[in-house]
């Protein structure tokens, strides 16, 4: 299945999108430091039964940012609305990974009529603030004139620990895919994006407003956003279930895309993908 790549204009920016298939719509929201193409394999599988859409969030990938305006969780949520409007979607299923999980919950809490179901991959613990240590290290390197390659050289050993031991041993190409993704980062936007992370809304305030069914998919080796976080989210959401992805760390789209695609399809009512 070929993903159709395109751009559309919103809020003075060009947003990079990928889309394929037909049927019930699924909008994918990627994690911090990533981009829409991380979902490629899952989208190719799910496009057999769904209309799949992904886009580079503001400040990531090939979607830029207004230098005169901050990036916030609110702007990321509003951008989701612009994407579903662009594709003529009244109600969408959302898949949010890591940062994208919070964006999905924020959007659903504000615009419940636009969301049918949600699947969250590696969602953050509602009581744990964003760990800024790694981000601050990256910013320090960039502030001293470092390039994306310099950042990767200094920090990638820690990033590699986010993948499962099984994947590191049996699928080294997955680690290389993550490394190439980090090498492609636009360091000029790094500080603006990190400031955006800090605007994460209080999840305890917005979770009661999320009334649609939520499936929490968590890798059994995800040390970044572990099972305890999903269990806490489940307790605070009105309609939530948990599914475990075996031999999977935090990079769901490159570690176990086939398994995760099946779990997403089941969450959205198509068990045979």
For 235-264, write each residue's pLDDT tens digit.
999 899 999 999 999 999 999 999 999 999
φ, ψ for residue 215 (rounded to 5)? -105, 120
Side-chain-side CA neighbours of residue 65 (13 Å): 25
Helix (H) or strand (E) holding 6: strand 4-10
262 vs 93: CA distance, rounded Å: 15
CA-to-CA separations, 150 to 68, 139, 158, 185, in angstroms, rounded? 27, 11, 14, 11
In a domain, 177, yes or no: no
| Nearest residue to 24 via CA among 75, 80, 95 | 95
In a domain, 172, yes or no: no
Q: What is the pLDDT of residue 140?
A: 93
In a domain, 117, yes or no: yes
In a domain, 158, yes or no: no
Domain boundaries, position 66 = 4-130+200-267
The two structure tokens encoding residue 207: 């979770």
Into how many domains does the chain fold? Answer: 1
In a domain, 144, yes or no: no
Query: Residue 30's domain is classified under what CATH number?
Result: 3.40.50.1820
Q: What share of the chain is helix, strand, coil (3-state, %, to 5)?
A: 45, 20, 35
114 vs 117: CA distance, rounded Å: 10
In a domain, 157, yes or no: no
In a domain, 227, yes or no: yes
Report pLDDT digits (tens) over 57-80. Answer: 999 999 999 988 999 999 999 999
Q: What is the pLDDT of residue 133?
A: 81
What angle do helix axes 73-86 and 190-197 make, rounded to 10 degrees? 100
Q: What is the pLDDT of residue 81?
A: 98
Stretches where the chain sits below pLDDT 50 are none
Q: What does DSSP say about strands 50-55 and 115-121: parallel, antiparallel, or unpaired? A: unpaired
């Amino acid at each position: 299945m070929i993903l159709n790549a395109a751009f559309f204009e919103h809020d003075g920016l060009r947003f990079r999108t990928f889309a394929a298939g037909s049927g019930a719509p699924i909008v994918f929201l990627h994690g911090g430091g990533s981009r829409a193409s991380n979902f490629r394999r899952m989208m190719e599988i799910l496009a057999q039964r769904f209309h799949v859409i992904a886009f580079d969030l503001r400040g990531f990938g090939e979607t830029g940012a207004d230098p005169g305006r901050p990036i916030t969780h609110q702007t990321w949520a509003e951008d989701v609305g612009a994407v579903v409007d662009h594709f003529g979607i009244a109600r969408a299923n959302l898949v949010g990974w890591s940062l994208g999980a919070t964006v999905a919950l924020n959007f659903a809490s504000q615009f419940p009529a636009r969301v049918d179901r949600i699947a969250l991959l590696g969602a953050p613990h509602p009581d744990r603030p964003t760990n800024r240590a790694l981000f601050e290290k990256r910013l320090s390197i960039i502030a001293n004139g470092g390039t994306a390659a310099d950042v990767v050289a200094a920090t990638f050993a820690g990033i590699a620990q986010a993948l499962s031991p099984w994947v590191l041993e049996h699928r080294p190409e997955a680690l290389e895919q993550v490394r190439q993704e980090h090498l492609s980062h636009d360091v000029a936007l790094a500080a603006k994006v990190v400031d955006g992370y800090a605007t994460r809304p209080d999840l305890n305030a917005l979770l009661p407003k999320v009334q649609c069914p939520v499936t929490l998919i968590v890798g059994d080796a995800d040390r970044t956003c572990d099972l305890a976080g999903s269990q806490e989210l489940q307790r605070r959401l009105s309609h939530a279930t948990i599914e475990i992805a075996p031999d999977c760390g935090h990079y769901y789209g490159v570690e176990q895309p086939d398994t995760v695609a099946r779990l997403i399809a089941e969450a959205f009512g198509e068990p045979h993908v």
